[in-house]
Amino acid sequence: MNPVNETPYYMPKDATWLITGCSTGIGRALAELIASKPSHHLIATARDPSTLSYLPDNDPRILKLALDVTQPSTIGACFATAATHFGSQDFHLDVVVNNAGYSLSGDTESATEEQMHEQLETNFFGTVRVAMKAVEIMRQGPERGGGLVFNMSSLAGVCAFPGHAFYHASKYAVEGWTESVAREMSPEWNINFCLVEPAGVKTNFEGHSRTHTAPHPAYDDPEMSSRKLEVFVNKGLSMGMGLEPAVVAKAMYDVASQGEKIPLRLPLSSTAVNMMKMALQEKIKALEEVEGLAAVESPAKR
């Protein structure tokens, strides 16, 4: 397969960052971090820009914009406004962070058509739309040494748990799409992709950014796996378990600024690494168990 992210990425000292989903959590933490760097430029976006009031209004380095990743027209408008603000002739995006998203959880069998489509529309297609526009600008812009696209995945993009089927589907899709597109990039462009895969993070993701399917009576037994996971997650939330958003933001900034090759995948926390290892080991074991059945070949043509 074609290699990815072959060339070290050197982020410019005056890098321009565009971040989606900056109202809370990781997006907010990262926006605050970039805003604290005097030489950097920031395009902070959210569906409701009034939620970005924590950022200054009178700093020319910082642009706060409305962006709904499910609405292609707002994406185009956002990029056009940013280009005008920072200079249309030499506008270049150095780092784009696809952070907007939410979690749909609950009994899969009771999910509505609208819930299914909205989950994929936001988490997957929204990411795709922003990333493709970013690639277009990075590829055609002034010679600035390429660019970097962070796509927020999750431990849920590698390991699947009960009661989150459509959320997992969206993150698995982000993983596959990102790896495929990363392999399409010409080495000359030096456009890099990185999948950020944290385990639990102390955000409102399992609160305000989480929606539920209606309970299904067939799954109401407390011994059902999805019910047990709910208890575990709620207990963890009440105990304050998980990474601080600022820790995730710093890890992402360090990857962007280290002047080295960008990893295609960035699992964050020992929990994420260990659970991913276990998942891969289970897949290898399952593969070995069916290796005999898999040994089928088409008859040789004469």
Catalytic residues: 153, 167, 171
Distance CA 268, CA 252 (A): 10
Burial per residue of 36-48, b for 16 or more beta-carbon CB atoms within 10 angstroms, e otherwise: ebeebbbbbbbbe
> Would you say 2 and 180 are in contact if contact means Cβ atoms under 8 Å apart?
no
The pair phi, psi for residue 279, each rounded to 5°, is -65, -40
58: left (phi over 0), alpha (psi -120 to 50) or beta: alpha
CB atoms within 10 A of CB 58: 5
Angle between helices 25-35 and 245-257 (to 10 degrees): 50
